[in-house]
Amino acid sequence: MLKDITLGQYFPGNTPVHRLDPRTKLILVVVYIVALFSAGGVVSYAVVLAALAAVVVLSKIKLKVIAKSMKPLLFIIVLTGLLNLFYSQGTPLVSFWIFTITREGVFNAVFMILRISMLITGTFMLTYTTSPIALTDGLEKLLNPLKRIRVPVHELAMMMCIALRFIPTLIEETDKIMNAQKARGADFETGSLMQRAKALIPILVPLFISSFRRADELAVAMECRCYHGGDGRTRLKELVYQTMDYVTLIGGVVFLAGVIALGHFGL
Amino acid sequence: MTPILQTRDLTHTYGAGTPFESDAIQQVNLSFERGEFVGIIGHTGSGKSTLIQHLNGLLKPTGGDVLLDGRSIWSDKKFTRETRFRVGLVFQYPEYQLFEETVYQDIAFGPKNMGLKQDEIDQRVRRAASFVGIPEENLEKSPFELSGGQKRRVAIAGVIAMEPDVLILDEPTAGLDPVGREGILANIRAYQAAQNATVIMVSHSMEEIASNVSRLIVMNHGRVAMTGAPREVFTRSKELISMGLDIPQITQVFLRMRDMGLPVDTSVFTVEQALESLLTLRGGKGHA
Ligand SMILES: Nc1ncnc2c1ncn2[C@@H]1O[C@H](COP(=O)(O)OP(=O)(O)OP(=O)(O)O)[C@@H](O)[C@H]1O
Ligand SMILES: [Mg+2]
């Protein structure tokens, strides 16, 4: 069911990972991604993987949940793996018909699959452990310097916040409408591609209508509470860096430097 | 005769295996006879909507079974699909599921999915429209230019047009004015009488339940807490109140009157019954 999509979902908790400042987590994710792409050998991959594993364990997010959110992306991962497997030049291992599997191909495939999965899992850890509000607050704060060059940072952050907030609502709504149409015998699972595309109309029309209605209502509600953009707006919860954040950030920098160094030596 | 619809130890757990796991309904055993008008009440989150979505096979039970004419609706795929048409389900706020260009086409969506012939579809659409009081000239209008109450009628007609043996409605009158509410209830009764259909209605209005249903099911925390005629159920007012429910206001008045020492019959729940009861009381006193 649609409900099972855990992509971008927040799992409330009170672990060290949950308690970190969202800015710290955002920076760490960037650090992590850079590290992942600088990793060049088995050792550096192992280091990055260990770091990821540590975060997963600390955050107490179940592996089952992570595996579930990977599901929709499984196709892309497998495809990338297969492409790498068959299209890498090098010493042939086996060959049949028009396919040749090379030793490099196997390596590349394994590393690509690992890299994509780690990339996805790493970014998911951010949304799993950070509420959408904290996330946008952090992003707004981090991007604040861009206001000088007239980037509407607050407005962008607000838009992102609203979008994130409404993903679950939208999914729920889609589920409801789908059920209602199924109750009238709509069939989304069988038929040709054309028929299936057509079968989406009874879902999309009501969904769009209710989204517009909701957007309208939200705009009115925000205006009624005197929302007028970011200027002069104060916050209930100011973000403050704690000791833990400084320690983590320093750890992150050391980690990145280490991985880059390892990669440099081809490890 | 076997009941038309039955549940056997029906249990449903949402999000099994996630941090959000919750038992919505547990061990529900119910049976529904042909031609019955059954009401379901229960506090918010007691599992009413979950229960009724099992009855037409929208939700697959995580435990137990649902039987239509004594046969499991999950026994084969074809039968599951047939169940969708034989057990019509009208969702809460059904007006948000309208999508066609005209009212006519929207009502025809269900019958079309059943694979009926064009003239049969046409007949059914017109019959359904007349059941819910949609005038002929509205059939060619866009459903989006109707009022909320009219939209709701169109949505209900969309299910009635499949002419289900069992018609289930989840709070069909929520958010309507008194005239609109009574209108929709009258439509439902008309359909029931004409088709000898079973009607199952979820409602939060005790008055509505009291004056329409012949049997009442009370849900509490995912279980069936009571079932019986409204007369029997509403006399257990203390239990109902402890479940976060209410009894009809007129019954409350009569309970107070009895507490004050008047020898009234406290199993009244409509104004008409109340009037009758008061008249006999006065008549009785007159004799004494
Ligand atoms: N799709 C879902 N996913 C997870 N939990 C759900 C879902 N739908 C309902 N629940 C949970 O199941 C329980 C029963 O919900 P249900 O909607 O059946 O209640 P209800 O009796 O219809 O309430 P109401 O009177 O508010 O309509 C609730 O605790 C609810 O939070
Ligand atoms: Mg409900």
Asked whether the beta carbons of B39 and B230 are under 8 A apart, the reply is: yes
- Residue A254: phi, psi to the nearest 5? -60, -45
Ligand 1 atom index nearest CA of B42: 21
Q: What's the rounded Cα separation, in Å, for the pair A163 and A170?
A: 10
Ligand 1 atom index nearest CA of B219: 21
Question: Any residues with CB less than 8 A from the CB of B163 and at least 6 apart, and which?
Answer: B124, B195
Q: Does residue B49's CB lie within 6 angstroms of at least one atom of ligand 1?
A: yes
Q: What's the rounded Cα separation, in Å, for the pair A138 and B111?
A: 52
What is the tens place of the pLDDT at every residue in A81-112? 888 888 777 777 777 777 777 888 888 888 88
Q: Is residue B89 less than 8 Å (CB to CB) from chain A?
A: yes
Smallest CA separation from ligand 1 atom 7, residue: B14
pTM for this entry: 0.76
Q: Give the confidence band of A2 by pLDDT, cuts at 50, 70, 90.
A: low
Query: Best of B97, B106, B124, B154 to disrupt the A interface by mutation (most A CBs within 10 Å)?
Result: B97
Q: Is residue B80 less than 8 Å (CB to CB) from chain A?
A: no
CA distance to A77, A78, A136, A259, per residue, from A111 (Å): 11, 12, 32, 16
- Tokens 């205006």 found at: A223
Query: Closest residue of B to A3, CA-based?
Result: B15
Q: Please say if the pLDDT value at position A122 is more than 60.
A: yes
CATH number of the domain encompassing residue B240: 3.40.50.300
Per-position b or e across B194-226, b if 16+ CB within 10 A of its CB:
ebebbbbbbbbbbbbbbbbbebbbbbbebebbb
Asked whether the beta carbons of B25 and B11 are under 8 A apart, the reply is: yes
Q: Is residue B200 less than 8 Å (CB to CB) from chain A?
A: no
Query: Closest residue of B to A211, CA-based?
Result: B96
Query: Closest residue of A to B164, CA-based?
Result: A184
Of A2-11, A239-248, B62-71, B255-264, the one with minimum mean pLDDT is A2-11
For B85, the closest of A68, A185, A202 (CB atoms) is: A185
Has residue B274 been placed in a domain? no
Q: What is the CA radius of gyration of chain B?
A: 21
Domain extent at residue B111? 5-247
Q: Please say if the pLDDT value at position B287 is more than 70.
A: no
Query: Best of B12, B83, B98, B99 to disrupt the A interface by mutation (most A CBs within 10 Å)?
Result: B99
Contacts of A62 in chain B (CB under 8 A): 19
What is the tens place of the pLDDT at every residue in A133-164? 888 888 888 888 888 888 888 888 888 888 87
Q: Does residue B42's CB lie within 6 angstroms of at least one atom of ligand 1?
A: yes
Query: Best of A5, A69, A184, A209 to disrupt the B interface by mutation (most B CBs within 10 Å)?
Result: A184
Q: Is residue B98 less than 8 Å (CB to CB) from chain A?
A: yes
Q: What's the rounded Cα separation, in Å, for the pair A257 and A252?
A: 9
Residue A71: the pLDDT is 82
Question: Any residues with CB less than 8 A from the CB of B155 and at least 6 apart, and which?
Answer: B90, B94, B95, B97, B98, B106
The total number of structural domains in chain B stands at 1
Domain ranges of chain A: 1-130+238-267, 154-233
Has residue B259 been placed in a domain? no
Smallest CA separation from ligand 1 atom 18, residue: B47
Predicted complex ipTM: 0.83
Angstroms from B95 CA to nearest CA on chain A: 9
Residue B91: the pLDDT is 93
Sign of the Cα torsion B140, B141, B147, B152 reads positive
